[in-house]
């Protein structure tokens, strides 16, 4: 039971953060000012791509948990891989986006690491 709570909480944070990436996409792109159409499309693709990746990782953990597979060997492998990918994404953000002056991007690694830790704890409790 405690395991499921940690897994669901970590997955919901991940999904929520993914949605929080997708919603302001137009404002984020507009913040780059007068750039070429191609650059706007690339930034849009990357911004939405990260949001969708976070949503997918969170949904994957959530579905595995709700379907009762979080204790199975295959389920645990998927959960550990999901938490590992979140850590990789957080490290990438630490060395890139977190070096900007934009507060939501500065806190992004901490949110993602929190979700990853909750997911990992949920897999071992």
Q: Residue 44's pLDDT is what? A: 96
Residues of the chain with confidence (pLDDT) below 50? none
Q: Residue 103's pLDDT is what? A: 85
The CB density around residue 106, as the number of other CB atoms within 10 Å, is 15
SS3 96: coil
Contact 64, 46 (CB under 8 A): no
Distance CA 75, CA 61 (A): 9
The CB density around residue 75, as the number of other CB atoms within 10 Å, is 18
Record the tokens describing residue 105, joined without a space: 């991007």
Q: Residue 104's pLDDT is what? A: 84
pTM: 0.93
């Amino acid at each position: 039971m405690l395991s499921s709570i940690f897994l669901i909480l970590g997955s919901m944070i991940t999904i929520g953060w993914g949605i929080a990436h997708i919603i302001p996409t137009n404002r984020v792109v507009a913040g780059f000012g007068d750039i070429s159409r191609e650059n706007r499309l690339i930034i849009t693709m990357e911004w939405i791509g990260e949001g969708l990746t976070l949503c997918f990782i969170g949904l994957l953990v959530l579905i595995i948990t709700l379907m009762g597979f979080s204790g199975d060997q295959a389920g645990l492998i998927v959960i550990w891989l999901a938490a590992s990918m979140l850590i990789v994404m957080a490290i990438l953000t630490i060395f890139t986006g977190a070096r900007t002056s934009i507060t939501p991007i500065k806190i992004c690694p901490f949110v993602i690491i929190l979700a990853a830790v909750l997911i990992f704890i949920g897999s071992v409790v």
